[in-house]
């Protein structure tokens, strides 16, 4: 596991009186980590606004940290440098194991239930790849080794097709879903992962055209990113954060923020650790050593 580094922004303001100032940690600041599923420059202003909503209800400053990698966020929570973290599902499973992360909320669907998304493997017309079997020997863009839709599920699909994800294709780790999308869009790689959230994001940015990719494989629904709190927080702070996160209304945010955030219902809803047992089952099937991610 690598050392953690973050882009820290003291973005949120002390507001409200819901929590006694003396009970705020770290001299008055709650630290909120976000994995870099898109470019930090795009995520930071959005999550600054989310953090302000949390701060307003909590009565503590909330500082956003978009980490430099998925593992960096896990390391930050393990080192006691984060109180809250939005993890990818696979990253959360590892964070729960080594960093005391406890899932409490996730993004909602329009019906108020926790949202799901899908992973896929795509290529572009003219790449010379028509089926999963054809991917052998071709460049393949993954987002991050600790990404669920950006590595775990595509690796599973390749294995089911009899292809080693490390040796059967030429793996390239782009660093984020956005970077993978750009590599595919610009034909820098021949095949790669593409999840439904990235497709939605590309549509909002007018960067998506129907027919630009051919889908070779698509997953079943995957539980959306959990919002987790560190399990060893003081009981009163942990309970207050859980209550706020499970009932956070995002509809008050500007549309530009909602275009980045997941969820048709535009809110957070309650979720628990058991929702990610399917991810643990996938880890076992692939014999993934989480400690080596």
Query: Per-residue pLDDT tens for 28-52?
Result: 999 999 999 988 999 999 999 999 9
Interval 273-288: pLDDT, tens: 999 999 999 999 888 8
CB 168 within 8 A of CB 136: yes
Nearest to 197 by CA among 247, 150, 249, 229: 150
Burial of 37 (C-beta count, 10 Å sphere; 0-12/13-18/19+):
buried
User: Which residues are CB-contacts of 208 (< 8 A; sequence separation ≥ 6)?
Assistant: 199, 202
What gap in Å lies between CA 77 and CA 102, rounded to an integer?
Answer: 11
Q: Is the pLDDT of residue 165 over 60?
A: yes
Question: What pTM does this model have?
Answer: 0.84
pLDDT of residue 23: 80
Span 265-274, mean pLDDT? 92
The yes-or-no verdict on residue 7 having pLDDT over 50 is no
pLDDT for the residue numbered 19? 54
Residue 187 banded pLDDT, cuts 50, 70, 90: very high
Least trusted range by pLDDT, from 12-16, 90-94, 95-99, 172-176 = 12-16
Residue 177 has pLDDT above 70, yes or no: yes
Largest CA distance in the chain: 63
């Amino acid at each position: 596991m690598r050392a953690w580094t973050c882009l820290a922004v003291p973005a949120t303001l002390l507001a409200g009186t819901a929590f006694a100032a003396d009970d705020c940690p770290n001299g008055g600041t709650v630290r909120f980590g976000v994995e870099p599923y898109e470019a930090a420059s795009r995520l930071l202003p959005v999550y600054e606004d989310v953090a302000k909503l949390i701060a307003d209800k909590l009565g503590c400053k909330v500082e956003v940290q978009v980490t430099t990698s998925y593992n960096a966020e896990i390391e930050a929570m393990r080192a006691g440098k984060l109180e809250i973290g939005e993890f990818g599902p696979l990253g959360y499973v590892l964070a729960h194991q080594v960093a005391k992360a406890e899932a409490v909320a996730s993004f909602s669907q329009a019906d108020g239930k926790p949202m799901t998304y899908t992973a896929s493997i795509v290529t572009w017309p003219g790449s010379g790849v028509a089926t999963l079997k054809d991917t052998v020997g071709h460049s393949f863009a993954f987002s991050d080794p600790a990404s669920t839709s950006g590595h775990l599920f595509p690796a599973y699909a390749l294995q089911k097709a009899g292809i080693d994800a490390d040796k059967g294709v030429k793996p390239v780790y782009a660093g984020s879903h956005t970077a993978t999308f750009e590599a595919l869009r610009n034909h820098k790689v021949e095949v790669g992962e593409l999840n439904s959230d990235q497709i939605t994001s590309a549509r909002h940015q007018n960067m998506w055209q129907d027919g630009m990719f051919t889908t070779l494989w698509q997953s079943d629904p995957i539980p959306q990113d959990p919002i987790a709190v560190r399990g060893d927080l003081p009981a009163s702070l942990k309970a207050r954060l859980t209550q706020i996160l499970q009932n956070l209304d995002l509809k008050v945010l500007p549309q530009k923020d909602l275009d980045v955030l997941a969820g048709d219902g535009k809110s957070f809803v309650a979720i628990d650790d058991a929702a990610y047992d399917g991810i643990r089952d996938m880890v076992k099937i692939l014999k993934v050593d989480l400690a080596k991610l």
